[in-house]
Structure 1
Amino acid sequence: MNKGLLWLLFSFLFLAGCGLLSSTDPQFSREKYDRWYDKEEYQKALNHVNERLESYPEDPLLWNEKGYILINMEQYSEALVPLEKAIEIDAESDSAYNNKALVYNETGEYEQAIVAAQKAIDLSEEEPEQFINMGNALSFLERDEKALEYFNKALAIDANAPYAQYGKGVSLYFLGKYEEGIPYFENFLHSYPNDIDALWYLVYSHDTLGDYMETIPYLNQIIDHQNDNPINTMDYKGLMLTYAGKWDEAATVYNGIIEQYPREAIGYYGKGVLQIQKGQTDNGLQSLEQAVSLDNSLKDTAYNDPLLSSVYQHELFKSIVE
């Protein structure tokens, strides 16, 4: 599995340790900014903080807030300027250092993220976010054992911190400890029930463990909430049902794919594999032939598919894959 693709979730945003900074702006309101963030009205928040900075240019919390707003707007390089200004004014701003670590994680500068996160940790060990950001950077660098240590430290501060739960699950997954990681993804889903990445980790974990039917509820949830074409997830569901010996249910899935996507090869391929598993060899090979006619690259897939080993020597199969 590609860690980079499945760690898109770690684009989460937080303003760590903001309570440790004091604002000189009497109109500063944490609740006001939070309402803007909740509604994703980032430009309104940016306009407001810029206006307040005109009156209070030496307020580190306002500069830190500006950096955080720009992070939300995915203007990561621009965010570093106000964050550095916040640190220039208040060198003890663990929040600004932590937000710098978040920027570096987003831009792929993981070694710099480690330096910034460590500075935030040195300044304050009372918040879980610094440890989460450190764990993220280490995980992206494939230093999963070390990353696990920091996610555990975050959980020692807040046992219910969702992203620490998620990070620990990811670290355990890439350490091959699939069964141990499952409860952490499940705990994370209590806070973010439709998070696609966490759902996929649970699917892959149960698949690797051979618990094929355990994947089905998660795959159904992914299908229900995918905004793009769910055909590949539907195919995965059919494959899991096939492995589990639930052939009638798998047939329903593949027939549904063919009905919805009659010009896509994947439905015919899955149906063919299933028919061959059920001993319907001639029908199965005809389905495979139709799949290959729609997508010639499936020849290689079929040639190496262990579920088709029973027909490797069949003349029609040979003609399909040659």
Structure 2
Amino acid sequence: CALKFVAIIIQQEVIGRRLGERVTIRAACQINSTFIRAARFVLTQPGCTFGKMMILCGGPDWPTSVLTGILRLSCVKMLIGSLPVVLIIIPSTALGACLAMSNRQGWEIVSKLVTLVAGGSQLGVSVGFAAVIERAASMHANAIASLPYDDEVLALESQQRSRERAWRTASDWNRDGYPRSARVVLTTAALLGVTGCHLPLFVRCFERVTVADSFTGPPLHGNPLNVVRGVQGWTVICCFALASALLYGHRKWLNEQASLILPIDDVAGNAPEMQEQALPAQGAAEEDAKDVAEERVVEEDVAEGLVHGVAGIPERPMPTAAAGSSNSYYAPNPGVSTHTAAEGGRL
């Protein structure tokens, strides 16, 4: 129990509260995911609730304890809420003791019984943890949705998605430029891994050792390498070691290829944003062209009106010439009817 509480303190105060200022730590906790946001909502509620205890006791140390440190929650209150974890630790500790005594007469039945109790307690707290998260996510969806997102983590996740796209492109066997040597390396590593996994099924490669066996007794006799049985055992180890080395080299090469593809992928990924930025400029250009066209139409109308001698004349009622008057100012222009002149004034 003491080790559990010490682990909670270290994870909350050191990793969560201190190292939680780093965006990589917060991203590793998936702080923007719906699951963690629901846990965040429950943990930040006032008081010591059943939901808090289920999350603190049933949730994994990472990211539960680290999340409490990132949220700057009280360490003392989190330890108090974690006290029921003793009910889970006791059956697990008893199970280990029973397994150590399983080679003695009468302890085999007790070991099986304690195994059921320990498994049931672990299953129960896990189901309770999942039920609390699901209930919070469904009943308080609006409140959880209103919680702020971590912008730095969002930016990092966007970069990671770009990296993943570049990685998938680089690891595509069907793409142009994928070298044959890389295919040979990856195929060889796969064959070595399959050989190492299936060889122990046909040949005994390792000695059987349990927690109840003495280190100085058979089959170890004080040397841990005695667990390897003959050439077949070392063959399995060599297969896994060589396969791991080949996979490491292949992965390193893929990282270099993804780094070369990443700038191109970023440009392609930002194409929609560039199009959105170009839309306002395109709309402004269209508006300018429309204005120019309208001005040209007005100029043409004005020019046509000048030809007929009516453009530029303000619209006003045409006075009626006095009877017998010869004043040409009030007389209509030759060739232009009164109706046409009135329409020209409205142009």
Could you say which TM-score interval applies, normalised by the shorter chain?
under 0.3
The TM-score normalised by the length of structure 1 is 0.21
Higher relative contact order (CA 8 A, sep 6+): 2
The higher radius of gyration belongs to 2
TM-score normalised to the size of structure 2? 0.20
